[in-house]
Structure 1
Amino acid sequence: MSTVHTEFLVFSQLLHIVKTVKAESLLCFPTETLYGLGGLATSQKVADEVFQVKGRPQGAPLPVLFAHRQQVERYLEIPAELEVLLEHFWPGPLTVALTARVPFPSGVLDGKGRVAARITSHRLLKTVIDYAGPMIATSANRSGEAPAMSAEACLHLQPDAIIMDDPSTSSVPSTVIGWDDGELRVYREGVIPEAQLRAVFIKK
């Protein structure tokens, strides 16, 4: 991570952004919820830098964004029981704990070998991820501070690059779920209320 110079980028620089992600750089970028901090999800270097910058507890795995369902299936296993929720809420602010098919860095996997995954609905970020690969995307802030809602608010984190876009319109994070011991678990209620999730789930 650079402590001297942060590069500002825009989505029209797609090729350069993809190369920056693949180079295992640390980035701030817009998502469909908050501004994110992260980079290439298969990079231990990126995972370590995110923990360092945020001061994040090691027991809190880093979430990962995917571009589309086919990409998720290349990396993760999807329980049949959750299909109805994924069909209804993906792409969008629903994060799901799914078992990894391939190696991921420590700090991304939880204690059960799962990745906290979601398919982003941010059209331009989706294109970057489609070309570069899945990306770690945790809120762009130091632990205990308010999350960044604009590119400028990310600057104090001193990432290698910041992707410029419109400010976030909501400070509410994604909802996080999983399938544990034969039950739907809601680990964090966010943009999608638990009642709405369970109403869709019970109709399957």
Structure 2
Amino acid sequence: MTDADPEPDARPDGASDPDVSAAAGTIREGGLVVYPTETVYGLGANAMDPDAVVRVFEVKGRPRDRPLSVAFADVDAALSATDASERAERFLRAFLPGPVTVVVEQGPELPDVLTGGRERVGVRVPDHPVARALAREAGPITATSANRSGEGSARRVADLDPDFRARVDAVLDAGETPGGESTVVDPERGVIHRAGLRADAVREWLASEP
């Protein structure tokens, strides 16, 4: 192998396949993993495991009545775990992967603690290969910023609060992320809960699609 050749199993975004596989194993065992997205670093746990989800709330210091979103590897995986309407499915396929959180009807397999007892859940398919690879290997994972609630989000692993980092089980470092925040939208009800990245395109879709 020459100096110019990539390392075996290396990803161009900085995290190797063995790293992702190890992190997925950590999540399957109930652990917490910091992972990169197309916005900021997120905190991932097994979204199907109520105990792991509770730990996310505790590590973030997040009130239980503030729901967590869920990241999937692709739209089909998101649809299989939710009861999205036909209109919501069209929206999902139009905007994901991408920096948009789509609120849809919760599926029966997602625990109530994830949604704060609500019947709807925020769905993400991050436009980042490491995040999607992690969700593909670990199953649906929580999608929330890797920080204490009320504090700034991290675009680099070096930006993580040391106390916060000490309470997670693994970190996938893929370099600096682009920043920003996702637009949160309920396409079935035509409501934008938070205007972030791609908000103008979301508004145009809501106005033009039946």
Bin the TM-score by the shorter chain. Answer: 0.7 to 0.9
Give TM-score, length-normalised by structure 2. 0.83
Which structure 1 residue ranges, 4+ long, deviate > 3 Å from structure 2? none
Cα distance between partner residues in 1 of 2:146 and 2:118? 26
Q: Which runs of 5+ in 2 are unaligned?
A: 1-13
Structure with the largest fraction of strand: 1
Partner amino acid for 1:174? S
Partner amino acid for 1:164? D
Residue in 2 aligned with 1:174? 182
What is the RMSD of the two structures over their aligned residues, measured on CA atoms?
1.9
Matched, 1:116 2:122: yes
CA displacement at 1:25 relative to structure 2: 0.4
CA displacement at 1:179 relative to structure 2: 4.4
Cα distance between partner residues in 2 of 1:108 and 1:65? 12
Q: Identity of paired residues, percent?
A: 30
Partner amino acid for 1:39? A
Cα distance between partner residues in 2 of 1:127 and 1:106? 25
Please say if residues 33 and 93 of structure 1, whose CA atoms lie closer than 8 Å, have aligned partners that are also in contact: yes
> 1:39-188 counterparts in 2 under 5 A?
39-154=45-160, 155-157=162-164, 158=166, 159-170=168-179, 172-179=180-187, 183-188=189-194
Please say if residues 75 and 93 of structure 2, whose CA atoms lie closer than 8 Å, have aligned partners that are also in contact: no
Residue in 2 aligned with 1:26? 32
Give TM-score, length-normalised by structure 1. 0.86
Greater Cα shift, 82-91 or 19-28: 82-91
Cα distance between partner residues in 2 of 1:179 and 1:25? 32
CA displacement at 1:109 relative to structure 2: 1.8
Please say if residues 38 and 46 of structure 1, whose CA atoms lie closer than 8 Å, have aligned partners that are also in contact: no
Note closer, same or farther for the CA distance 1:54–1:10 as it changes in structure 2 (3 Å cut): same
